[in-house]
Amino acid sequence: MSALPSPAATGEQITVGVLALQGDFEAHRAVLEGLGAAVREVRVPADLDSLDGLVIPGGESTTMTLGVEREKLGEPLREFHRAGKPIFGTCAGLIMLDREHLGIIDIRAERNAFGRQVRSFETDVEMGLPGGPIEALFIRAPWIAEYGPSVEVLAQVDGNPVAAREGTVLVVAFHPELGDDQRVHALFLQAVRDARLAAA
């Protein structure tokens, strides 16, 4: 049971974009649709038009950066953020949003921070969500090496920040789109609905 109202209950149909240049965008689409959002894959700037929020998936941040440059998506993505539309980045998506990439959240991501050899592990992460810790899957994951004063750290692994929020931007270093726990996506969709109501 979820404490969050469904889109049907609020009468709000929201449409969320998933950056689909590279990475596991299809897994995000499935989770978001399962939670009642309409989803559009974003490959060029015009795809951002009239979206209520955006997910940047996991994948490979160097390849994704090349795609953003090729499609001239950097400034449109920053403009989307400035318009108050929530953005959610997971793993490589967290890296894409940091100071050294799109500059949308005031963090510096350390890539492959758990060690290149540690390709993948699962651990319980306490994010303060109702229902207790998340069983989180980390795949060659980053952590947040530095962050500014307006960034709220939501979770840590061994003292290293792995989830954070700054205003309407949410980032996690793990892969909530893989597995069957949808609470992090539900948290993001709630922020999308709140932002839409605030703008109405």
**Residues catalogued as catalytic:** 91, 175, 177
- Span interacting with ligand GLN, options 7-15, 46-54, 90-98, 184-192, rule CB under 6 A: 90-98
Residues in 108-137 at the binding interface with ligand GLN, rule: CB under 6 A: 111-112
Q: Are 78 and 72 in contact (CB under 8 A)?
A: no
- What angle in degrees, to the nearest 10, is found between the helix axes of 74-82 and 61-70? 90
Judged by beta carbon, residue 54 or residue 92, the one nearer ligand GLN is 92
Exposure string over 128-161, b if 16+ CB within 10 A, otherwise e: ebeeeebebbbbbbbbbeebeeebeebbbbeebb
Q: Among 37, 128, 51, 140, which Cα is nearest to 90's?
A: 140
Residue 101, interface with ligand GLN (CB under 6 A)?
Answer: no
Nearest CB to ligand GLN, comparing residues 53 and 176: 176
Return the number of the residue (100 or 194) whose C-beta is nearest ligand GLN.
100
DSSP classification of residue 5: P
Shortest spacing between CB 3 and ligand GLN, in angstroms: 29
Quote the least distance from Cβ 60 to ligand GLN, whole Å. Answer: 5
Options 85, 140, 185, 193; binder of ligand GLN; rule CB under 6 A:
140
Nearest in space to 46 (alpha carbons), one of 80, 89, 96, 83? 80
Asked if 19 and 93 count as a contact pair (C-beta separation under 8 A), the reply is: yes
User: One-letter amino acid identity for 42?
Assistant: V
Closest CB to ligand GLN among 169 and 195? 169
In the complex, the smallest distance separating the C-beta of residue 61 from ligand GLN, rounded to whole angstroms, is 3
68 binds ligand GLN, rule: CB under 6 A: no
Q: By the criterion CB under 6 A, which residues form the site for ligand GLN?
A: 58-61, 91-92, 95, 111-112, 139-140
